[in-house]
Amino acid sequence: MTDTKRIVLSSDHAAIDLRQAIARHIEAKGWEAVDIGPTTPESTHYPEHGAAAARKVASGDCALGIILCGTGQGIMMAANKVPGIRCGVCADPFSARMIRAHNDAQILSLGARIVGEGLALEIVDAFLETEFEGGRHGTRVDMIKALEA
Ligand code: RB5
């Protein structure tokens, strides 16, 4: 576990229940869940929620983020448009470890219509409990950062 423990969570309407379950789960594990909603089930727009979470991370207010939509794909695309953000969709714990260890992703994206709650919580644990390895992976992440320059 990293020493900075604020984790931002957001989703669209397709993933409210799973997002709230993840928030409870990570709070129970000692992380601070900064859940920025939404809380009501009306249809909403995933780009707004992906960008809002990504800005919380890019500004340094939160160390990491977890975002969700039906597939995890649309909200991931939006989050990755915020400068400095690396976000990946994961449907298995191995990928979640690797996007931290090798890609230094700060945001995990999940598809609430793809993964059930049990698997989602394992993916979340893998993501939050893995540190970036640096070294040759740092060189490659720097190359990603250079693409934004
Ligand atoms: C909403 O119906 C759905 O399109 C959205 O949750 C997400 O899957 C988009 O990528």
Residue 15 CA, closest ligand 1 atom number: 6
d(CA 31, CA 29): 6
Q: Kindly give the confidence (pLDDT) of every residue in the chain, 149 residues in length, as a single tens digit, with 9 standing for 90 and above.
A: 445 589 999 999 999 999 999 999 999 999 999 999 999 999 999 999 999 999 999 999 999 999 999 999 999 999 999 999 999 999 999 999 999 999 999 999 999 999 999 999 999 999 999 999 999 999 999 999 999 98
Q: Where are the domains of the chain?
A: 6-146
d(CA 12, CA 19): 9
Q: Quick check: CB of 46 below 6 Å from ligand 1?
A: yes
102 tagged catalytic: yes
Amino acid at residue number 11 = S
62 tagged catalytic: no
Q: How far is the CA of 68 from the centre of ligand 1 (A)?
A: 9
- As given in the structure block, the two tokens for residue 107 are 């945001």
Pick the CATH number of 6-146 from 3.40.1400.10, 3.10.150.10, 3.40.50.10330, 3.10.180.10: 3.40.1400.10
Q: Quick check: CB of 70 below 6 Å from ligand 1?
A: yes
Q: Quick check: CB of 11 below 6 Å from ligand 1?
A: no
pTM for the model stands at 0.96
Q: What is the DSSP string of 2-39?
A: -S--EEEEEE-GGGHHHHHHHHHHHHHTTPEEEE----
